[in-house]
Amino acid sequence: MTFPTSLCPNAMQVHGVHQETDDVWTLELIAQDFYPYSPGQYALVSIRNSDAVLRAYTLSSSPGLSRFITLTVRRIEDGEGSNWLTQDVKPGDTLWLSDAQGEFTCADKGDAPFLMLAGGCGVTPIMSMTRWLLANRPNSDVTVIYHVHTPNDVIFAKEWRTLCENHPQRLRFRLATSASVSEGFLQGRLSEEQVRQHVSDLTKCIVMTCGPEGYMDEAQALCERLGITPERFYQERFHSSAENADGNGDEIKMRVRRLAQDFSVPVGATLLYALEQNRLPVIAACRSGICGSCKTQILQGDYTTSSQSTLTDDEISMGYVLACSCRLTGSVEIA
Ligand code: FES
């Protein structure tokens, strides 16, 4: 018997594991108790059923509609969580999930038309919300533009076809690929032309977008150019890519005062990346700015944070950050 962990108290039995593409699998789970969630939310999953390693995955199912709670997971080489979930977990096993989390949901946004922009595995919350909107918001039309690397990378291909057949008046679904020209696919990266061609009224629509970092930057810049105001623009960024540096090759210094040592790290890296790359001790259970295990004190320097959720005001004023959610923009000194 596995006991619930403090962050992941919800037991789920694995009903099935289905391969979606070469590197993406969907796990179907049966919740042992009522499990409330909103379309688009995510949960932390306890990897190997312990609190030591937690990973965040979108709930790709839709509340009230899907037979199972589902997680759709891309296997990442060397990814501890994704390898365990997609290669080792079998039907009959028990997984432990946190309560559903996150603000990225369409459920509180009324009857507007929706434009969903998805890149790669970022389609998981988009599917959850599209399915939910079509069933629950009869006055909301939905346009989905889904960018994949190659035509073989389309996740939920069969279900997208079914949704299009069942909602021909309300769902506009377009696939796009940056690979060579393929029948049925828009060609090239996300562009103004692609959006203008497929959305009739940009002045009213709510944009929801999810995908890898580069895609999200493009989506945000594009929506600004198209005049989508911030109150109508919602995004969910994949946290896994947040550990990467900016990639411009510049380096900054990270001084560790207690060791009286300096380390060179790429500008734009997260503090967690910088610590792990230099084999400095740090515990990082969720890597998503949720659990608080990676709390670290920065004594001085330049950085930005994307989550401070477990920190008190006093800790923040003393320079404590969550290393997984702190990006180094200049040289820093840590305690
Ligand atoms: S690892 Fe959980 S908040 Fe950073």
Model pLDDT for residues 119-168, shown as the tens digit of each residue: 999 999 999 999 999 999 999 999 999 999 999 999 999 999 999 999 99
Residue (of 53, 46, 40, 49) closest to 100 by Cα position:
40
Q: Which residues of 96-118 are buried (b: 16+ CB within 10 A; e: fewer)?
A: bbbebbbebbbbebeebbbbbbb
CA angle 148, 149, 153 (to 5 degrees): 65
142 Cα–ligand 1 center, Å: 35
Model pLDDT for residues 49-86, shown as the tens digit of each residue: 877 788 889 999 999 999 999 999 999 888 889 999 99
Q: Integer distance in angstroms from the first to the last C-alpha of the chain?
A: 41
**Bigger pLDDT: 199 vs 74:** 74
The pLDDT of residue 212 is: 87
By most ligand atoms within 8 Å of CB, the mutation choice from 98, 240, 273, 322 for ligand 1 is 322
Q: In ligand 1, which atom is closest to the CA atom of 284? A: 1
- Determine which of 1-10, 59-68, 166-175 has the lowest per-residue pLDDT on average: 1-10
Residue 35 reports pLDDT greater than 80 = yes
287 lines ligand 1 (CB under 6 A): yes
**pTM attached to this predicted model:** 0.83
162 Cα–ligand 1 center, Å: 39
169 beta partners = none
7 lines ligand 1 (CB under 6 A): no
By most ligand atoms within 8 Å of CB, the mutation choice from 46, 239, 288, 315 for ligand 1 is 288
- Determine which of 158-167, 201-210, 238-247 has the lowest per-residue pLDDT on average: 238-247
283 Cα–ligand 1 center, Å: 8
285 lines ligand 1 (CB under 6 A): yes
**Max alpha carbon distance in the chain (Å)?**
65
120 Cα–ligand 1 center, Å: 24
Please state, as a whole number, how many other Cβ atoms lie within 10 Å of the Cβ of residue 36: 9
With 0-12 / 13-18 / 19 or more C-beta atoms within 10 angstroms meaning exposed / middle / buried, residue 223 is buried
113 Cα–ligand 1 center, Å: 35
**Bigger pLDDT: 116 vs 193:** 116
